[in-house]
Amino acid sequence: MAAGTVEWISCSRCRELTYGRRYERDLRVCPGCGAHSRLTAEQRIAQLLDAGSVVRLERPAVIEDPLGFTDSRPYSERLREAREHTGSDEAVVCVTGTLLGHPVVTAVMDFRFLGGSLGVGVGEAIADAADTALRLRHPLVIVTASGGARMQEGAFALMQMVKTSQALARLDEAGVLTVSLLTDPTYGGVAASFATLSDVILAEPGARVGFAGPRVIEQTIKRELPEDFQTAEFLLARGLVDAVVPRVALRPTIAALLQAQTPLAPAAPPAVPAPPPAVPAVPAPPPAVPAVPAVPAVPVRLVREPGELPVVDPADVVRNARHEDRPTTLDYIALLLEDFQELKGDRHSGDCPAIVGGLGRFEGRPVVVIGHQKGHDTTERVRRNFGMALPEGYRKAARLMRLAAKLNLPIVTLVDTPGAHPGVEAEEGGQAWAIAESIRLMSGLPVPIVAVITGEGGSGGALALAVADRVLACAGAMYSVISPEGCAAILWKDRSAAPRAAAALQIGARDLLRHGIVDAVVPEPEGGSHLDPVAAAELVREALSATLREIAATSPGDRVAQRRRRFRRYGVEISRCE
- 436-481 pLDDT per residue, tens: 999 999 999 999 999 999 999 999 999 999 999 999 999 999 999 9
Residue 92, C-beta contacts closer than 8 angstroms, at least 6 positions apart: 41, 107, 108, 109, 110, 116, 121, 122, 125, 126
- pLDDT for 267 equals 37
**pLDDT at residue 55 tops 90:** yes
Residue 367, C-beta contacts closer than 8 angstroms, at least 6 positions apart: 337, 359, 360, 361, 404, 409, 410, 411, 412
- pLDDT for 14 equals 75
- The band of 70, judged by pLDDT with boundaries at 50, 70 and 90, is very high
Q: What are the CA-CA distances from residue 557 to residues 207, 260, 289, 553 (Å)?
A: 40, 30, 12, 12
Residue 464, C-beta contacts closer than 8 angstroms, at least 6 positions apart: 192, 389, 394, 397, 420, 434, 435, 438, 439
* 3-state SS assignment for residue 432: helix
- pLDDT for 476 equals 96
Phi, psi of 125 (to 5 degrees): -65, -40
Torsion angle of the four alpha carbons 560, 402, 425, 344, in this order, in degrees rounded to the nearest 10: 140
- pLDDT for 102 equals 94
Work out the average pLDDT over 74-90: 95
* 3-state SS assignment for residue 99: strand
**154-174 and 431-444 helices cross at what angle (nearest 10)?**
70
- The band of 152, judged by pLDDT with boundaries at 50, 70 and 90, is very high
Residue 5, C-beta contacts closer than 8 angstroms, at least 6 positions apart: none
* 3-state SS assignment for residue 287: coil
**pLDDT at residue 189 tops 60:** yes
Q: Are strands 102-109 and 92-99 parallel, antiparallel or unpaired?
A: antiparallel
How far apart are alpha carbons 442 and 173 in whole angstroms?
14
Torsion angle of the four alpha carbons 478, 481, 485, 491, in this order, in degrees rounded to the nearest 10: -140
* 3-state SS assignment for residue 395: helix
- pLDDT for 33 equals 77
Q: What is the DSSP string of 458-517?
A: EHHHHHTT---SEEEEETT-EEESS-HHHHIIIIIS-GGGHHHHHHHHT-BHHHHHHTTS
Nearest Cα to Cα of residue 482 among 509, 503, 457: 457
Is residue 443 a contact partner of residue 169, using CB atoms and an 8 Å limit? Answer: yes
The residue type at 85: H
Work out the average pLDDT over 264-275: 41
* 3-state SS assignment for residue 25: helix
Share of the chain above pLDDT 90, in %: 77
Please write the tens of the pLDDT for every residue from 332-366.
999 999 999 898 898 888 899 999 999 998 999 99
- pLDDT for 299 equals 58
Buried b (16+ CB within 10 A) or exposed e, 345-367: ebeeeebbbbbbbbbbebbebbb
- The band of 266, judged by pLDDT with boundaries at 50, 70 and 90, is very low
Is residue 392 a contact partner of residue 436, using CB atoms and an 8 Å limit? Answer: no
Q: Is the pTM of this model over 0.85?
A: yes
How far apart are alpha carbons 420 and 506 in whole angstroms?
21
Share of the chain above pLDDT 70, in %: 91
Please write the tens of the pLDDT for every residue from 271-301.
444 444 443 343 444 444 444 444 444 456 8
Per-residue HEC secondary structure of 104-172 comes to: EEEEEECCCCHHHCECHHHHHHHHHHHHHHHHHCCCEEEEEEECCECHHHHHHHHHHHHHHHHHHHHHH
**pLDDT at residue 157 tops 50:** yes
Let me know how long the chain is: 578
Nearest Cα to Cα of residue 469 among 545, 533, 552, 356: 552
Nearest Cα to Cα of residue 389 among 357, 422, 411: 422
